[in-house]
């Protein structure tokens, strides 16, 4: 979804000659996709995968917070994020989320009083933000997987985010001229529109899967909502990195930077996809409340 722009809004020749995607990025992307689809076949394996992603995201979020000042309370955040995901897996999130959130606030505030004299507000605040941003939002993927035909819904969500990212990058690299936001100077309006259109098209194509009983226009709505959320998630993480003055949140994934860099779009896309399924009638109101 990116291309470098000059102050006048045109892409320099150097950027035009630069390959859009490196070989190692493609290889690691294929391997990650294969792992994701393999884990999606069995709910416990999928939950383990989400836990691993969440762990990497929390660790890198802690690093970003440390560059802004006091680091979040990493043990507290990690335990709370794991608790969110495990409660969702066992269908207990509705019963115990209030207790978990209250306990996280209390423990984060209490722990911050013993880890240093400065940055009390920042440490406890960053901790709570990290838990909600990563832990709470990733539980929606567990909820989607728990639906009837959940493996198919998860696969659809992954395709929507992937097509948004891929076509945003391809279109932005090919014809991108207008900067989308200063938070991420390489992202362009043309790239964002390209990713959006691709996601809407893929969403409409889900009507070809008869077992899901979704019409083309319902699929298009899901694609549109998911694409907007995925791109918003990417921009939010870009803002966090820009604020922390780093290029990547980490370096754990070959060719992609950090875990948070790779899955930032999915964090927002999961809750948006779940809401979209509710909007088109796939999920009942009761099911939404209990998740």
List the structure tokens of 207.
Answer: 């009507």
Q: Given its phi and psi angles, is residue 205 left (phi above 0), alpha (psi -120 to 50 degrees) or beta?
A: alpha
Distinct helix (H) and strand (E) counts, the chain: 12, 0
What is the model's pLDDT at position 135?
97
What is the model's pLDDT at position 47?
97
Q: What's the rounded Cα separation, in Å, for the pair 86 and 117?
A: 34
What is the model's pLDDT at position 119?
76
With beta carbons less than 8 A apart as the criterion, state whether 287 and 81 touch. Answer: no
What is the model's pLDDT at position 221?
97
What is the model's pLDDT at position 117?
61
- Supply the DSSP string of 150-178, one letter for each residue: HHHHHHHHHHHHHHHHHHHHHHHHHH--S
Q: What's the rounded Cα separation, in Å, for the pair 124 and 29?
A: 35
Q: What's the rounded Cα separation, in Å, for the pair 219 and 201?
A: 8
With beta carbons less than 8 A apart as the criterion, state whether 132 and 271 touch. Answer: no
Q: What's the rounded Cα separation, in Å, for the pair 252 and 60?
A: 10
What is the model's pLDDT at position 209?
87
What is the model's pLDDT at position 255?
61
pLDDT in tens, the chain (291 residues): 444 444 344 444 334 334 445 676 667 778 888 889 999 999 999 999 999 999 999 999 999 998 887 888 999 999 999 999 999 999 999 999 999 999 999 998 888 777 766 678 888 889 999 999 999 999 999 999 999 999 999 999 999 999 999 999 899 999 989 999 887 888 899 999 999 999 999 999 988 888 888 999 999 999 999 999 999 999 999 899 888 888 888 777 766 678 999 899 999 999 999 999 999 999 875 454 444
DSSP 8: T
Locus of tokens 């992307």: 29
CA angle 138, 135, 279 (to 5 degrees): 40
């Amino acid at each position: 979804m990116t291309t470098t722009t000059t102050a006048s809004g045109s892409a320099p020749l150097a950027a035009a000659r630069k390959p859009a995607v490196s070989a190692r990025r493609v290889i690691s992307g294929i391997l990650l996709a294969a792992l994701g689809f393999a884990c999606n076949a069995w709910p416990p394996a999928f939950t383990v995968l989400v836990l691993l992603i969440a762990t990497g995201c929390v660790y890198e979020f802690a690093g970003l917070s440390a560059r802004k000042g006091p680091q979040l309370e990493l043990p507290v955040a990690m335990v709370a994020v794991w608790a969110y995901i495990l409660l969702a897996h066992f269908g207990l999130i509705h019963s115990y989320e209030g207790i978990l959130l209250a306990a996280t606030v209390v423990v984060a505030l209490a722990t911050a009083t013993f880890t240093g004299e400065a940055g009390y507000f920042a440490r406890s605040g960053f901790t709570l933000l990290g838990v909600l941003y990563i832990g709470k939002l990733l539980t929606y993927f567990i909820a989607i997987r728990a639906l009837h035909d959940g493996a198919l819904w998860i696969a659809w969500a992954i395709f929507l985010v992937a097509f948004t990212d891929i076509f945003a990058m391809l279109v932005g690299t090919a014809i991108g001229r207008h900067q989308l936001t200063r938070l991420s100077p390489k992202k362009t309006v043309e790239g964002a529109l390209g990713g959006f259109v691709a996601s809407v098209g893929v969403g409409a194509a889900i009507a070809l899967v008869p077992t899901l009983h979704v019409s083309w226009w319902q699929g298009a709505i899901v694609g549109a909502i998911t694409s907007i959320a995925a791109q918003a998630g990417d921009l939010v993480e870009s803002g966090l990195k820009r604020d922390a003055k780093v290029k990547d949140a980490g370096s754990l994934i070959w060719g992609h930077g950090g875990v948070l860099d790779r899955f930032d779009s999915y964090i927002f896309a999961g809750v948006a996809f779940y809401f979209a399924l509710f909007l088109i009638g796939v999920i009942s109101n009761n099911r939404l409340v209990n998740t």
